[in-house]
Amino acid sequence: MLTQSDVYESGVNPHNENGSQAMTNDQIENLIDELNAQRLGDRIFLASLSRAVDRAKVWLNEPQGVAGFEGVREFFFIKNDEGLYVAAIEDFEYDLHAFVKPAYRRQGHLSRAMKITILPKLFQDGRAIQKITFNDPYVAEYCVRNWGFSVTGEKTAEIDLSVYSAWQEIAPIRAPLSWDDYHSGIKVKLNRARLYLEMIKDQLDMAYGRDGSSCIERYIRDLECLGGEVQDLIQNNLKK
């Protein structure tokens, strides 16, 4: 949902189809601040789309397996000319949740990123229509005037993304992982996943015997092999 205050300040947040609720402004601003401080390397994964826009997959917390939704969130993070992150778009596919830090509002960062990079990239990734929802008529006017949307209902608007069909391809610039990324993050996660499976196997073994636990052993073996495959992937890309 988009609302006023460039262009978002809402007490009603959209829900994703997987059950997640849009983050609040305070949560997104904190995420931007943490990103600027480079403190989220193990939970936010970036690929650059342009000088001003990075695409990201965000994990807010370490998964615990008990909450209603603990999965990945899709974001676009927007930078100013100095390379500082100043805004973000949370992408729900059927809706967008935008936030710009107060000190950087009404400077065009959001609209430039939307028109030059974000909307064209969504089209190139196979999205035909982008919809938005809003509560404030000002937002509808803003999106029509600045982003080319058309109002489709009392609280909805959309744009046919085929208007970007002739746009130059936007290819992500990806940063290869380092050995430190592997040893301090990926290896730990793989080991933890394997040990959890070992624990489940032991529980099944005690409850049902060998026949009950054999079904999970192949997944444990797969995880044991996966570490080597990831190491090969990192090594091969470091050589390029």
At 134, list the tokens. 């809003």
Higher pLDDT, 8 or 212: 212
Burial readout 200-213 (b: 16 or more C-beta within 10 A, e: otherwise)? ebeebbeeeeeeeb
- pTM score, whole prediction: 0.85
Looking at the chain, the whole-number percentage of residues with pLDDT higher than 90 is: 57
Digit-coded pLDDT (tens) for 138-193: 888 999 999 999 999 999 999 999 999 999 999 999 888 888 888 888 999 999 99
Residue 30 CA to residue 203 CA, distance in Å, equals 41
